[in-house]
Each structure stands twice: as structure tokens, then as C-alpha cells.
Chains A and B, each alone.
Chain A
Amino acid sequence: MTIRNVRDHGQRYRPRMACLKKVENVVLEMQDPKTGVKSQTQRLVITTIPHAITGEDIVAWIANRFKTDAAEARAMGTMMVAFGYIYPLQDHKRLILKPDTSLYRFQTPYFWPAQQWLVEDTDYAIYLAKRNIRKKGMLELYEQEQYNNLYKWMNHKWDFIVMQAKEQYRAGKERKKPDRVVFDCQERAYWVVHRPPPGTVSAMDYGHDRMVDPNMEEVKVCIMFIQQCIMRPRVKSSVSIGALIKYTTTYKEHDPFLHTCLPSSPWITDDVTYWTLNMPNVETPTKMRVERWTFSFGELLMDPRGRADFRLFLKKEFSGENLAFWEACEDLKWGAAETMKEKAQQIYKTFLARGAPRWINIDGKTMDITVKGLAHPHRYVLDAAQTHIYMLMKKDSYGRYLKSPVFKETQKKAYQYILCMNCVPQLCRFTAPVPHLAVYTGICEAQSTASPGLMTLPNSAACPSPISVAIDSTPASERRFDGNGGPSSSHFPSIAEASVSEEEKQPPAPKSRMALSLSRLLRRGCNAPSVFASLSPKCAVASGGGKVQPLGVEPLAQPQPRRIANFFQIKVDIPPECRIYPIDSEDEEDDSADTARGGVKEIICPWETVTKQDGAG
């Protein structure tokens, strides 16, 4: 028996066959006695059979009906023949439309291809058996193969198949001769379409079956979800890449892996000073850290030290409740579940209720939503209000904060690393904070006198100067001071050694090389008030021939980084839109704080032209 194939092969499962209905309509149009295709009689030896049509007539009709050219019409005609709506009377195995006088005939609707049912093997077996009866075993090779296959496959029904074949054969014989001929042609054509001889391309090859009924509920939901995913607004890759570039340019110098980490990278030198200096609630932050606060409001808030600074500022402005509310919301969001209800109530009483002690100013709609949500408090019930307050702070207070004395004070006091003559990276503070830091040459002593609160670091031989890490091009052999290089750095040893070799004479070549590599170092960063110290004792010795001069105090005291052109000068090219001087009053912020600051620094060696920086430089 057949396995009961209850699956419906209709539109849902064989969607690509939907064109059949359209072809049928065209075929029906072709039948019209007045406007249809011209028909003629086919003359056979013994009889005539009406309704034969020539290929060229078909092409002409199609071209006229659809207003296309002959080639297109021919293609369409071939498609109709391939589907089996028209069959050729000569050369019946090739299902193409020849635009000449070759004859075709319309297929009877019983033998039309249908989308909703598959052509059954049982029917094919009956047909082959019939053909076998008629031709007494003289079937074509592929037909014989199919017959044998079907005999094996449908062995249990074979009696039925033979019986039916015989009956159909006899029933067919009842008809008149011409009709028998027609019927045989039709049936033969039908099976050429649906069981094509090997090596031919079949138009019935429609691709994969759909396994799922797209009208089922679960499937509909899936389809809807996927459609929504596709329709989600997407960011152009140029925009997202632009944002990525902006981010990396801004944060490049702040990354301890990608950039020099002063005083030294703890991951390399095992000296944890960097971490100590950047502890969450350290009293004095580093310059880099303060600079990060200017990048975005989020940065400021996420840094505990920054938040504390901001809180201080707000206190001075008597608008501290915003930040307090925001923090309370954060606490609610991230806090423990059991205290949530009380926390929410507390927040409401403190910030949101009428006449609350620290009432925050949010708009009516948000207040409405929040109060309604507080009836059934959950973690995110205050989300709307929190966002509102966040945006308020960002748009209003943040800007004012960056211009405030509080911030400027913090900035001023912030620690910054420079490298000095005795080669230990020193932390300095500058009276006039300089965002685009560049050059400083000189000795620590000078700086230590100039700025209070200097931290001197232990001169650890094990710690190579950060610049040494950066300068990797100078081969060790040419440097005057190698010796106990840093533990991990094969290059430049600690500049501590330099003090030893002060008096040594150095050939200029390594000098310039170092100068160049320094310049390379400096050129890498276009941002940065980061520390650079130049300095090579070698050069100092070479040019000065004497002791290294102390760095004057002046550059530190002045707002502009005017260099004392002792040895190296590092010229800073400041892009026009960036105002760095004077650092205190007006500003470099707003959004330009976030953009990459272009600044090219190049080192000018003293034996080259020494140019002084202009004021606004």
C-alpha cells in the first residue's frame, strides 16, 4: 500500500510552482476562437486530427498579447511546452518551442501539471505496464530501468497495477481511432514532462519542499520576529567605523597597553605605582584621569574620584540632589532584592514626593509614570526618572562643572609624570596645568623646587624609564648607558645610569638617533598632555659639555609651554580649533574634548634651528 501521504503539496509546500495558475490562464486565453491561436488540422496517414498549431503562430500570438519581442515570446512559449501545457507532435522528447511550422497541440486539462498534488509513481507504473502491453516489451532503456525499479518498489501492488493497466488499455480501445491517437500522444507527452528521460532538464524541478506550514501559529511568530530583525534600523558601517575611530583616537593615549604607561607599566616592571596612583578614591588623581573626565559625562560619573569631584561642585551650586537621586537609583537597580521595596519608598519620600526634602525637578509625565510604577516597585521602576535626571546633569551641570573652579583646581593639582635628568620619571604638578604637554627638559631638582608636592620616586635600577620602552630602535650597543638594563626591556636601561655617565662624551650619532626615535615616540600621540620628557643626558653632555642644566622654572609657571631650549625642544603644532592656551579660563571642552586632538610634535634638536614657541603657539 502506499504510505498515506497526507501532506498537502499545495502552495505552502511547493511555492515555486505558483506560476502554473498563471500559465493556465494564458492557455485558456489562447483557446478563444476569435482572438486565440490559429489552429489547423494535422494530417496523418489515416486520419486528420484537428487543433494542431504551429510554433510560429504560438510565438506570434504571445508576442502580440504581451507586447514583447519574438525572442521573449519564444522563451515564454518554451516554458509553456516545458510545463506540459502544449506538447510537440514531432520530436516529442524535446520540450521546446520551435518558431517554425512544427506542430503542437494543447494538452487536455486532465494532464495539466498541478501544484497541489505530486505525480504518483503508481500512475507511472500503470503507464509503463500499458506501454509494455502495447509495445510488447520494446520500451526504451530508461523506461525499462524505471519499470524494474517500480516492480521492486511496488511489488505488493503489482497485481493491481497490471490489472489496472489492462483495463485502461481496453477502455482506451473503445474510443475511435483518431481520439486514441490523440490520447496516446497526450499521455506520452505527460510522462515526458513528469518523468523526463535522462539527460534532459525538467521544468518540474522546483527545488526544495518547504517542511513547515507557514500558516501555523508558531511559524508565523517566528516569521514576524525575523522580519522585524531585518527591519531594525541599522547603522551604516561608515558611521559605526567612524565612531570606532573616534573612540580609539580619544582613548589611545589612555590605554596602558597601547601607550606609554608612566611611571612604568606594572605588567612589565612589576612596579605597582601606576595602580596606586590610579586607585578609585585616591586623593589626587593623575592628569590622564582628569582628562578622561572631560571626554564624556559617563566617564566622569563612572570614575569614583570624578564623581566625588562632581559632587563637590554640585554641593557648591546647591544642586546636589540630582546626583544623589541618580546614585540612589543606581543603588536600587543593583542592590539586593529584599531591600528593594524599602529603598524605593525611601527614594520616593526623599526625592519625589511633594515637599520632599531633596525634591528633584522632573517633568510631569515622567513623574506620573514613576509614581504609578511605585505602586508595584521593582528594580527598574525609577528608570525613566533616572534617565531624565542623567540627561539634565549631562546637559546642564556637566558643562558648568568643566568650567568651574573646582574642576580647575583638581586639574591643577593633578599629578603628571615627566622624566627628568636623573632619569627617574617624576611626578610633578604644574602650577599652570598644560593639556598639551610636551617638552620638558631639565632636572628634577628644578622641578621639585618649582612645584610643591612633588613626589620623588625611588630610583630603582630595576625600572627602566618608560621612554626606554618606547625607544626601541636604538640598539643597545650604541647607547652609552646600558648596563643593567631593565628587567624586561632589552633596550634602554634605566636612565638612572645616565647620572653616572654625565660627563661622558657622546658621539652625536646615537644622539640624533635617539632624538629621532623620541620624535617618533612623540609623534605617536596627537593628544595628550602626557608626559614627555626628553632628555638624554648624552645630549646634554654633548651640547652643553657640562652639567645638565636644570630646567628653568619658567615653563612651569607660565601658562604657555615655552620651552627652555636647553637641549631639546619639542615643538607642538596645535590645530587651530584647539585652544590650549591659556589653560585656565576658556575652554577646550564641549565636544571638542571628545574629538581627537591633532597635534604633531616633533623634536628639534638644539643643533638645528632653535625656534621659540610663540605665545599661543
Chain B
Amino acid sequence: MSRWRQSVVEIQTRKRQVNECERAQAALSKVTACFQQMATSLGSNMDGSFLREELEETRTVAHKICSGLHRRLLSLLIEMEQGQEDKEQVERHWVIFLSSLENFQRDLKKVKVLQEIFPLTQRKDRQALINAGYAGGTSEVAARAAMVQTPWLSVEETASLDLKNHIVEIDVLLEEMFQRVNVPLWSVEPTQEAWVEGISTQDGGQEEDESLEDIMEVEVVSQNSTSGCCNHHNCKVGCLLCLLS
């Protein structure tokens, strides 16, 4: 009886751990995506010490998630026996985590190079910033990244690294992962089918989005027209649809 209960507990623990990893993975994705969005502002006219600080914070968060996730996934895979039901799931997470790490490392390398090109240490460096057309900052993105939750985020302490060492550490992590776990990567089947993401209507406000490109097209046509419904010089459409305030 107790043995049965024991195995149930084990299974439940395991399930919990796997779920943890899944959520952590989602969090990592979120953080890395935000990181990328912020990195695109590097070197542009919106670049500044503020942006760089935000980048640093985001990177630290990502680092914490990575290390925790790495440890847990590794232990899960190592103690896994053949034929367990969630083996496939864990392996899938493993692959996702690997790809995620590599992707993040690429971004980190780019950021490092960009920070070298645009050092921003002197006043005249600001003149060299590219006028890329940005008007606003990326604070919202940073806030989004800061909002992620992972069970171990506040609990565990991981040493903070600077950018260069972070890149190196990821290399080490990846090496370790390849050596210690023997997962045939190509055998992993994805859960997502092709083209599915385009069909789903999870995200709201998509009508607005498709007009983004239409906006850019419309601009061609009505560039020279000065007529408008109101006094605003940018108003080119009828009053009803004028969104300018």
C-alpha cells in the first residue's frame, strides 16, 4: 500500500517538476523575446544608459531562469528511465530549451558587438546614433519582462554575470548538456502543426495589426494631398476615421 502511495507521490512530484519546467520555458521565451525587442533599439536614437540598464536587468532575469531550468531539466532527464510516459514531453522541453539557449546566445553576441560599436561613454558618441525613426522607449517591454514568474526566481541565488561571461557560460552549459544527456534531437515531434499559429485567434486586436502594412501603403498614395477633415496637417482621411488627437 505504501509502496503504491510512494510511487504515486513520485509520479506527482515528477509531474509537478515537468510542469514547472514548462512554465519556466514559457517565461524564458517571454524574457528572451523582450530582450530582443529592446536590443533592436541599441544604437538607434533611443539608445541610452536607461535602455542599457533595462537590458542588463532583463538579461539577469533570463540568466536566472536559464540556470534553474537547466538544472531541473538535467536532473529530470538523468533520472528518467526508459518507457516513462512523459519521456517524450521532457525530451521536447529539452530541445526547446536548447534552441532557446542558442537563440539567446546569438542575441547576446549581437548586443555585445553593438555595445562596442556604440559605447556611449562620451557626449559626441550620441551624434553617431542612428536615426532609426523611434520615438518612444521600450520601458513597457522591459516591464513585461520583469513580470515573469518562476518558482525559483526569488528563492535561488545565482551569481550575476556580465555580458561576456554570460556568453561563455552558455557555451559551457550547452557543452554540458550535450555530453551528459543523450537525446536524439531529431526524434522529437513537435506539438504544433504548420500554419496553426496563423489561424488561432488568441490574440486580440488583430484587425489593427493588419492595417500596419496598409498604413505604410496608404502613405504612398496620399502623400501629397493636403486636404483633410480637420486642421491637423497629418489628417488625410475623413473626419470620422481620424484617429489623431
Contacts and interface: CB of A to CB of B under 8 A. Distances in A.
A372 interface: no
A50 interface: yes
A171 B36 contact: yes
Contacts of A129: 197
B187 A156 contact: yes
Contacts of B99: 1-2, 122, 157, 160-161
A178 B135 CA distance: 7
B195 to A, nearest CB: 6
B198 A183 contact: no
A174 interface: yes
Interface in A38-69: 39, 42-52
Interface string B187-206: 11111101111110001011
B60 interface: no
A338 interface: no
A4 B25 CA distance: 21
B212 A90 contact: no
| Size bracket, chain B contacts | 35 or more
B129 to A, nearest CB: 6
A218 to B, nearest CB: 27
Interface string B97-139: 0111011001001100110011000000001111111111010
Given A155-B190, A164-B103, A171 B206 contact: no
Secondary structure at the A interface, as helix, strand, loop or mixed, is: helix
Contacts of B52: none
Given A109-B114, A109-B117, A136-B199, A117 B218 contact: no
Task: Please indicate which of the listed interface residues A107, A110, A155 has the most CB atoms of chain B within 10 Å of its own CB.
Answer: A110
A111 interface: yes
A167 B212 contact: no
Given A110-B110, A157-B95, A165 B197 contact: yes
Contacts of B199: 136-137
Interface stretch (B6-14, B78-86, B159-167, B219-227): B219-227
Contact of A186 (B36, B40, B96, B186): B40
Given A132-B197, A168-B36, A163 B234 contact: no
Given A51-B45, A163-B26, A172-B37, A1 B98 contact: yes
Contacts of A157: 95-96, 99, 190
Contacts of B168: none
Interface in A171-219: 171-176, 178-186
Contacts of A111: 40
A48 B103 CA distance: 33
A476 B231 CA distance: 117
Nearest to A106: B130
A365 interface: no
A156 B219 contact: no
A148 B187 CA distance: 19
B131 A39 contact: yes
7 contacts: A110-B39, A120-B106, A132-B195, A135-B210, A156-B95, A166-B29, A171-B33
**Which 10 pairs from chain A and chain B are nearest by CB?**
A109-B43, A167-B33, A158-B190, A51-B131, A132-B198, A1-B185, A174-B140, A176-B136, A108-B132, A160-B99
Interface of A: 1-2, 4, 24, 27-28, 31-33, 39, 42-52, 89-90, 105-111, 114, 116-117, 120, 122-123, 129, 132-137, 147-148, 151, 155-176, 178-186
